[in-house]
């Protein structure tokens, strides 16, 4: 039997969808003075809304998430404080899905996804600059303009003026270097930090796999709510405003002034960790932390009902699958979607012979950790 829903007045995130009114409260909320940012939105740029394929993927993944009351308390704490949410727990408990649930519940548009590996550095999340591509195009342009000096050559000294003030010989002008805007694109973190009237949801997935320096490098960005693109800052006198692409769409350009990206509303940052490493205290101090435990029988029943429309109490075979999932979970980690896969197969009539039960369970509920992983 599904537990009665608990709703608290101060909650913004409920995990139930239909959150347009709560999003309005989120946008109009009062941030802590130290988390109030002043970025000015580009009136010509519109972030993706709640329509299209990207939003459909976010909504489908997020609408089936079933948060408990303690989870809602912690998520809403992060929303009110405008702090990153660090979510820990075993693989398969729904850490990444929580980010999609927040976005779908509050109608915040598609989730920006930044997967982390051991080679990831801060700039990968902020912006991408194809310097080699720009040099190659400059070289091609040089080939198209015979006799012109290379665009990368040193400046040629000006010729002395001709007698009687007549104009001197014009120096051979090289082709103009291609615009830098075509070779710059904001990454997922950089796009999330664009000044907007509503926050974007950014999923920083498996940050525990990162190089040891990345959590520390993120601190300044999290505190300042912005960053500088040096390649644009160097050109600020000649070209103070440059339009570049975003992580959502390279063609949906946004204007960056003086090379600075400064948020107006700090994004909803969800960082996930499987516990493969510890983080420095300075990093942890700036995050709100949530630990997700594997779901018990009641929560599993609610997840199956939400995802598949199946009432566990309606059939012994479904109860048997849930119990088998719990029993096998004592010997090694399992992911909730493995139970969903098992029930989906039974709904399709697969593996229905009683003699196949053990092979069926061994096939769809293989341990993620433990001696048989």
Q: What is the pLDDT of residues 73-83, one digit of tens each?
A: 999 999 999 99
- Note whether 25 and 89 are same-domain residues: yes
pLDDT band, very low/low/confident/very high, at 28 (cuts 50, 70, 90): confident
Which tokens is 369 given? 């950790």
Q: What is the pLDDT of residues 171-197, one digit of tens each?
A: 444 555 557 888 899 999 999 999 998
- Note whether 43 and 84 are same-domain residues: yes
pLDDT value, residue 181: 83
C-alpha to C-alpha distance for 134 and 183, rounded to whole angstroms: 7
The answer to whether position 332 is within a domain reads: yes
Enclosing domain of residue 214: 20-127+181-292
Cβ atoms 269, 84 nearer than 8 A: yes
- Note whether 232 and 96 are same-domain residues: yes
What per-residue string of b and e applies to 197-210 under the rule 16 or more CB within 10 Å gives b?
Answer: ebbbbbbbbbbbbb
Q: What is the pLDDT of residues 39-55, one digit of tens each?
A: 999 999 999 999 999 99
CB atoms within 10 A of CB 67: 23
Q: Which residue has the higher pLDDT, 58 or 134?
A: 58
Q: What is the pLDDT of residues 214-263, one digit of tens each?
A: 999 999 999 999 999 999 999 888 889 999 999 999 888 999 999 999 99
| Arithmetic mean of pLDDT, 258-270 | 97
Round the CA-based radius of gyration of the chain to a whole number and report it: 27
The answer to whether position 170 is within a domain reads: no
From the list 94, 96, 100, the residue with the least C-alpha distance to 59 is 100
C-alpha to C-alpha distance for 72 and 174, rounded to whole angstroms: 61
Last residue of one domain, picked from the residues 292, 315, 338: 292
Last residue of one domain, picked from the residues 238, 264, 292: 292
Q: Which residue has the higher pLDDT, 115 or 24?
A: 115
- Note whether 59 and 187 are same-domain residues: yes
Q: What is the pLDDT of residues 362-371, one digit of tens each?
A: 999 999 876 5
| Arithmetic mean of pLDDT, 138-149 | 61
Most confident region among 58-67, 186-195, 306-315, 342-351 by mean pLDDT: 186-195
- Note whether 330 and 187 are same-domain residues: no
Torsion sign over Cα 185, 191, 197, 201? positive
pLDDT band, very low/low/confident/very high, at 321 (cuts 50, 70, 90): very high
Return left, alpha or beta for 352; rule: phi > 0 is left, psi -120 to 50 is alpha, else beta.
alpha
pLDDT value, residue 171: 41
pLDDT value, residue 161: 52
CA separation, residue 276 to residues 86, 89, 121, 167, 281 (Å)? 14, 10, 18, 71, 16
For residue 319, give every residue at least 6 positions away whose Cβ sits within 8 Å of its Cβ, in sequence order, or none.
312, 313
The answer to whether position 75 is within a domain reads: yes
- Note whether 225 and 352 are same-domain residues: no
| Arithmetic mean of pLDDT, 302-317 | 89
Lowest-pLDDT range of 101-110, 162-171, 303-312: 162-171
- Note whether 123 and 186 are same-domain residues: yes
Which tokens is 346 given? 């039974």
- Note whether 46 and 194 are same-domain residues: yes
pLDDT value, residue 72: 97
CATH number for 76: 3.40.50.300
C-alpha to C-alpha distance for 139 and 148, rounded to whole angstroms: 11
pLDDT value, residue 29: 85
- The CA-CA-CA angle for residues 201, 77, 295, to 5°, reads 80
C-alpha to C-alpha distance for 199 and 13, rounded to whole angstroms: 13
The answer to whether position 176 is within a domain reads: no
C-alpha to C-alpha distance for 188 and 125, rounded to whole angstroms: 5
- Note whether 321 and 245 are same-domain residues: no
pLDDT band, very low/low/confident/very high, at 159 (cuts 50, 70, 90): very low
Most confident region among 24-28, 95-99, 139-143 by mean pLDDT: 95-99
pLDDT band, very low/low/confident/very high, at 16 (cuts 50, 70, 90): confident
The total number of structural domains in the chain stands at: 2
The answer to whether position 143 is within a domain reads: no
pLDDT value, residue 144: 64
Residues forming beta bridges with residue 186, ordered by sequence position: 127
């Amino acid at each position: 039997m599904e537990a009665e829903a608990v709703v608290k007045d101060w909650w913004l995130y409920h995990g139930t969808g239909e959150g347009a009114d709560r999003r309005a409260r989120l946008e109009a909320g009062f941030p802590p003075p130290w988390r109030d940012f002043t970025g000015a939105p580009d009136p010509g740029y519109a972030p993706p809304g709640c329509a299209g394929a990207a939003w459909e993927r976010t909504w489908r993944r997020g609408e089936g998430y079933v948060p408990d009351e303690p989870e809602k308390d912690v998520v809403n704490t992060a929303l009110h404080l405008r702090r990153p949410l660090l979510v820990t727990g075993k693989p398969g408990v729904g850490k990444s899905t929580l980010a999609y649930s927040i976005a779908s519940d509050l109608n915040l548009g598609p989730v920006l996804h930044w997967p982390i590996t051991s080679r990831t550095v801060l700039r990968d999340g902020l912006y991408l600059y194809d310097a080699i591509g720009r040099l190659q195009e400059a070289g091609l342009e040089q080939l198209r303009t015979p006799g012109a000096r290379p665009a990368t050559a040193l400046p040629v000294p000006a010729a002395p003026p001709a007698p009687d003030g007549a104009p001197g010989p014009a120096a051979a002008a090289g082709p103009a270097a291609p615009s830098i805007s075509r070779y710059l694109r904001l990454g997922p973190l950089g796009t999330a930090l664009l000044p907007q009237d509503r926050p974007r949801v950014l999923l920083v997935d498996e940050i525990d796999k990162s190089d040891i320096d990345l959590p520390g490098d993120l601190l300044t960005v999290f505190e300042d709510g912005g960053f500088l693109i040096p390649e644009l800052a160097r050109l600020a006198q000649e070209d103070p405003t440059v339009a570049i692409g975003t992580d959502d769409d390279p063609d949906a350009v946004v204007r960056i002034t003086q090379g600075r990206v400064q948020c107006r509303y700090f994004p909803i940052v969800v960082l996930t960790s499987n516990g493969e490493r510890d983080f420095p205290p300075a990093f942890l101090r700036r995050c709100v932390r949530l630990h997700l435990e594997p779901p018990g029988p009641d929560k599993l029943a609610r997840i199956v009902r939400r995802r598949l429309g199946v009432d566990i109490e309606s059939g012994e075979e479904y109860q048997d699958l849930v119990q088998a999932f719990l029993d096998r979970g004592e010997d090694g980690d399992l992911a909730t979607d493995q139970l969903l896969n098992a029930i989906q197969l039974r709904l399709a009539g697969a593996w229905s012979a009683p003699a196949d039960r053990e092979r069926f369970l061994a096939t769809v509920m293989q341990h993620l950790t433990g001696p048989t992983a």
